[in-house]
């Protein structure tokens, strides 16, 4: 039986089609994590070293393709995101719980000075910055017209305006071990 090369490579276009969007997502995640300056410096160093270390180019490209393919957005909607068109829409399900908004904002800010409204859209699950403002207003977090972040300047939430974290529940188990005792759960 003769097998054509085209028959063997039938799945290749689907695989290659995911590399473009995956590369964009991967690059944006790298830039969000390290910033444009660090990303540009690493890219410049890699381009400078490429002629000297030619054998590594293939491995770097293969690694990038594997990472981009794994970061590519899927074409199919996830099962938990599919909504019935006939299902009634609840009024209270427009955004996250106001008690959780401060935790989300605190996570987005991290060690920075603040977070832009555009940067809070994804973590809060908001469609636009107006919905982000509504979530923040419901949680009692003020929005400043100008916040400086590593991603730029604009309207957002400053670190000082986010309420302090909620205390841990009091019923968490605390293990106390006296001096000279073994710290295991099976002290029968």
Instruction: Give the pLDDT confidence of 42-60 residue by residue, as tens digits.
Output: 989 988 988 888 888 888 8
pLDDT of residue 183: 62
pLDDT of residue 88: 46
Q: Which tops the pLDDT comparison, 156 or 182?
A: 156
pTM: 0.41
Q: Which two tokens stand for residue 145?
A: 């017209």
Mean pLDDT check: name the lowest of 51-60, 77-86, 88-97, 137-146.
77-86
Report the b/e string of 105-118 with b at 16+ CB within 10 A.
Answer: bbebbeeeebbbbe
Every domain of the chain and the residues it spans? 11-71, 92-161
d(CA 20, CA 147) in angstroms, rounded, equals: 33
Round to the nearest angstrom and report the end-to-end CA distance of the chain: 70
- Specify whether the CB–CB gap between 69 and 12 falls below 8 A: no
pLDDT digits (tens, 9 = 90+) for 137-168: 888 888 888 888 877 888 888 888 887 776 66
d(CA 65, CA 20) in angstroms, rounded, equals: 10
């Amino acid at each position: 039986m003769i097998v054509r090369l085209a028959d063997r490579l039938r799945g290749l276009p689907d695989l290659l089609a995911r590399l473009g969007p995956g590369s964009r997502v991967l690059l944006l995640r790298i830039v969000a994590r390290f910033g444009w300056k660090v990303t540009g410096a690493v890219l410049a160093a890699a381009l400078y070293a490429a002629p000297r270390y030619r054998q590594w180019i293939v491995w770097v490209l293969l690694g990038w393709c594997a990472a981009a393919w794994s970061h590519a957005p899927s074409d199919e909607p996830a099962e938990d995101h599919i909504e019935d068109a006939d299902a009634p829409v609840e009024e209270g399900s427009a955004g996250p719980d106001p008690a959780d908004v401060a935790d989300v904002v605190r996570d987005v800010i991290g060690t920075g000075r603040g977070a832009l409204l555009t940067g809070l859209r994804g973590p809060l699950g908001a469609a636009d910055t107006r919905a982000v403002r509504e979530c923040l207003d419901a949680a009692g977090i003020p929005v400043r017209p100008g916040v400086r972040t590593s991603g730029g300047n604009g309207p957002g939430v400053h670190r000082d305006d986010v309420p302090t974290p909620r205390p841990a529940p009091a019923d968490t188990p605390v293990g106390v071990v006296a001096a000279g005792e073994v710290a295991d759960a099976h002290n029968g």
